[in-house]
Amino acid sequence: MIDHYDWPGGREAMLRFGPATGPVVIAAMPLFEEANRTRAFMVAILRGLAEHGIASALPDLPGTGESLRPTEQSSIRELRQAFEFVSETFSSQGRSVHGLGVRSGCLLDTLALLDSRWHLTPMDGADLLRDLSRIKQASQREGGEHFDPLDSVGDKHDLPIEIAGNFISRQLLGELSGVSAFSSETNATLRTVRLDSDPKQADLKVTGTPLWRRAEPGNDPALAMMLADDIATWVKSCAA
């Protein structure tokens, strides 16, 4: 169902799945274009969780999804703050709250007081900044232009930069160079899952398609169900 949450910047929508009681998993989508490519996949995971009797929420964080806030007005600080307020919406009801992050969405749960975190292919801000830079540089290659995402960061007169159809502020690009997701060294209640093609360390490696790399939105129902099973087992183990 469609619900909403309040944060200091206003009111935003969120989709809710599963029962109205018990633990709840809050999902954070990847930022920018990768969100469009993976939304159907995320929804499939959350529906799979509902089949396990576990509730979930997919909030439109400020400047993402169907949010009325322009993307160019987003900042990592506000995205994290909004996620924190979503978590408080449920924790204030006495429910255990767990975070689910995909890719750069893993950067957004750091302020929230969560019972656990489950991350799929997490990336830090510097990784995202490199990806955005490559996309922008490729689009400018024909004109022989050079792009440096950190040029003039902090200049309030700078216009937002268009990257793959998203207008992104230089402030947010500047924030990315210094932000990271939780790691197992800093948070004991973290499970990290990666595709088997990813050489980085993980608690679990799975076979699947990196949908965030595709040119068009896609889904992998079999992988979504496998991940939903793993998340459900993880959430239940955290409550044991």
Domain enclosing residue 190, as ranges: 2-124+180-239
Q: What is the domain count for the chain?
A: 2
Tell me the whole-structure pTM to 2 decimals.
Answer: 0.90
CATH at 90: 3.40.50.1820
**pLDDT score of 151:** 61
Tokens 């068009």 correspond to 216
Judge residue 208's burial from the number of C-beta atoms within 10 Å of its C-beta, 0-12 exposed, 13-18 middle, 19 or more buried.
buried
Check whether 240 has a pLDDT greater than 80. Answer: no
Give the pLDDT confidence of 116-175 residue by residue, as tens digits: 999 999 999 999 999 888 888 776 665 555 566 556 454 545 688 888 888 998 889 989
Are 32 and 119 members of one domain? Answer: yes
Tokens 């099973």 correspond to 229
Exposure b/e, 149-174, CB count within 10 A at least 16 = b: beeebeeeeeebbebeebebbbbbbb
Strand-strand pairing, 10-17 and 55-59: antiparallel
* Higher per-residue pLDDT: 27 or 160: 27
Give the pLDDT confidence of 193-225 residue by residue, as tens digits: 999 999 999 999 999 889 988 878 889 999 999
Is 100 within 8 Å of 73 (Cβ atoms)?
no
Are 171 and 187 members of one domain? Answer: no
Are 111 and 134 members of one domain? Answer: no
What's the CA angle centered on 69, arms 112 and 111, to 5 degrees? Answer: 10
